[in-house]
């Protein structure tokens, strides 16, 4: 049996980290990595792979749930889950930015060997995110019918979408807390622990779905609400397990004793997280509202097209996985190196990220183009009228995710130094005047195809602006996000120009 021991002091933790760095051992016994040393390409791959595995499991979990819903309950239920899931993404966006800002802070503080500061950032983010998620969940439960009405949800799908969405809202605080802890652990360089608990969540969710949908054995028959209930149970069990493991293994972000006060954020830390987190959250909200607008346009075309779009979204999840995983790895690596003053490595981190991300995404896009029908028939029958519509959508849209992969790396690098306003502006311009504008105006000449062509057009506009900002913007000369009671003084001591000059 494992014996209880006193938690290590901050000073001993710092000595341990510095000793690992000096000895060349960049991996601790609990999986944390020092991302400021070693070969950049190899470190990026080894750090990104578990994150990619987590994303794959999360996507598989969603796909398995969609298969159960589509097979048991039909196209109407599948369209209902699509409408509900885009709303869920919207609510995640309302609080996700705070978690991302905390992850950047954690990476920068660990790059400076400041474990206490990393815990302060994590505690503040937990307090902010859980509070916001609880408020959003309560409002979402109450106003779910009005939200679905705004989406022009088809009448046939409305009761199913409402039942599904309300249960999903119940699980939102636990889901957001789970996401935040995983993001925080990746900020410390640990991408393996989140993978194990994502496996647990996927097994529970995928296994409980058919039992609760169909009422198999002792389980009640809940229909589409059973799919959402399975997600709710899986989220809570996995979260409790992850918290218990964090304390049992004494991982860097655990809070004990006086550290529990960090859950009530101080003014300087709150200001830093909100100042950088709000624009990141606004980017998520911009993407979500653009998605909601697109759903509204698609829903006008009938249930078959809505179901085809829902299936397409399932496959887009897989195509985006390398972009999201490698983007997260680039962000964590760049943040730690910026915090350590290793600007000589930041440009190479971006270069390796671009090569790896675009290569992996291209392979997935090619495979789905070749094998689209066998994959699509996992969700709908071969005789479904939604099948040819989904094939047509994917043929037009799939390749734009190669461009998306490049954008993710560029945005991740500049955000690691606290540059969050420019990516927000770029995204708003690309999504609204370009994507939504083309979808509305182009419909006069291209019909429904204008909706699908708006995706690659918007992605191309985004990457052009992102490349320009990366090459010519002033993101390198900004200071890392270091909250302090005197922000001017903190920024003065953190100015990267006083260390190694950036080469990226």
pLDDT tens-place string over residues 200-248: 988 888 888 888 887 888 888 887 778 888 888 988 999 999 999 988 8
pLDDT at residue 429, rounded to an integer: 93
User: Residue 269 falls within a domain, yes or no?
Assistant: yes
Cβ-based burial of 1 (10 A; exposed 0-12, middle 13-18, buried ≥19): exposed
pLDDT at residue 70, rounded to an integer: 67
Domain count, the chain: 1
- Cα distances (angstroms) measured from residue 284 to each of 96, 200, 411: 8, 27, 13
pLDDT at residue 5, rounded to an integer: 37
User: Residue 66 falls within a domain, yes or no?
Assistant: yes
User: Residue 498 falls within a domain, yes or no?
Assistant: no
User: Residue 25 falls within a domain, yes or no?
Assistant: no
> What 3-state class would DSSP assign to 495?
coil
Q: Identify any residues that bridge with 33 across adjacent strands, giving them in sequence order.
A: 27
State the residue range of the domain holding 117. 46-491
CB 187 within 8 A of CB 102: yes
pLDDT at residue 478, rounded to an integer: 57
User: Residue 356 falls within a domain, yes or no?
Assistant: yes
CA-based nearest residue to 501, from 315, 275, 346: 346
CA-based nearest residue to 308, from 432, 448, 430: 448
pLDDT at residue 460, rounded to an integer: 94
User: Residue 10 falls within a domain, yes or no?
Assistant: no
pLDDT at residue 504, rounded to an integer: 29
User: Residue 430 falls within a domain, yes or no?
Assistant: yes
pLDDT at residue 71, rounded to an integer: 64
Alpha carbon distance 116, 99 (integer Å): 18
User: Residue 497 falls within a domain, yes or no?
Assistant: no
- Report, as ranges of residue numbers, the positions in the chain whose pLDDT lies below 70: 1-34, 65, 70-80, 82-84, 86-87, 89-95, 151-154, 156-157, 478-504
């Amino acid at each position: 049996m494992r014996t209880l021991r006193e938690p290590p002091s901050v000073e001993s933790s710092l000595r341990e980290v510095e000793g690992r760095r000096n000895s060349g051992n960049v991996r601790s016994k609990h999986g944390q990595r020092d991302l400021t040393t070693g070969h950049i390409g190899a470190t990026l791959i080894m750090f990104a792979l578990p994150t990619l595995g987590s994303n794959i499991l999360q996507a598989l979990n969603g796909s398995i749930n969609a298969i159960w819903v589509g097979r048991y309950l039909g196209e109407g239920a599948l369209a209902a889950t699509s409408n509900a899931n885009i709303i869920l993404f919207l609510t995640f966006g309302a609080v996700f930015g705070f978690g991302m800002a905390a992850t950047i802070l954690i990476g920068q503080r660990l790059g400076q060997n400041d474990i206490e500061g990393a815990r302060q950032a994590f505690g503040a983010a937990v307090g902010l995110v859980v509070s916001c998620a609880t408020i959003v969940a309560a409002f979402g439960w109450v106003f779910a019918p009005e939200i679905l009405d705004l989406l022009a949800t088809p009448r046939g799908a409305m009761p199913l979408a409402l039942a599904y969405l309300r249960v999903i809202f119940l699980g939102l605080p636990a889901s957001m807390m789970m996401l935040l802890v995983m993001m925080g652990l990746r900020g410390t360089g640990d991408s393996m622990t989140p993978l194990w608990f994502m496996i647990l969540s996927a097994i529970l969710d995928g296994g409980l779905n058919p039992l609760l949908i169909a009422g198999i054995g002792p389980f009640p028959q809940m229909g589409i609400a059973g799919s959402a209930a399975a997600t709710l149970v899986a989220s809570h069990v996995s979260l409790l397990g992850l918290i218990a493991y964090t304390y049992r293994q004494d991982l860097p972000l655990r809070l004990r004793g006086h550290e529990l006060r960090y859950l009530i954020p101080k003014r300087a830390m709150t200001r830093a997280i909100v100042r950088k987190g709000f624009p990141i959250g606004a980017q998520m909200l911009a993407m979500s509202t653009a998605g909601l607008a697109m759903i509204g346009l698609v829903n006008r075309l009938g249930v078959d097209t809505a179901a085809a779009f829902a299936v397409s979204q399932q496959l887009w999840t897989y195509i985006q996985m390398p972009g999201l995983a490698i983007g997260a790895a680039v962000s964590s690596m760049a943040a730690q190196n910026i915090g350590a003053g290793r600007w000589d490595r930041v440009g190479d981190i971006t270069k390796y990220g671009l090569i790896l991300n675009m290569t992996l995404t291209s392979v997935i896009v090619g495979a789905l183009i070749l094998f689209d029908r066998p994959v699509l028939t996992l969700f709908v029958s071969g005789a479904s009228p939604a099948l040819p519509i989904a094939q047509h959508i994917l043929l037009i849209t799939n390749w734009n995710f190669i461009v998306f992969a490049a954008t993710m790396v560029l945005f991740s690098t500049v955000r690691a130094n606290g540059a969050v306003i420019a990516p927000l502006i770029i995204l708003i311009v690309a999504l609204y005047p370009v994507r939504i504008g083309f979808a509305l105006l182009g419909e006069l000449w291209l019909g429904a195809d204008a909706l699908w062509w708006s995706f690659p057009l918007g992605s191309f506009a985004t990457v052009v602006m992102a490349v320009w900002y990366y090459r010519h913007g002033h993101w390198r000369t900004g200071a890392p996000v270091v909250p302090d009671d005197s922000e001017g003084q903190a920024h003065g001591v953190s100015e990267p120009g006083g260390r190694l000059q950036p080469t990226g």
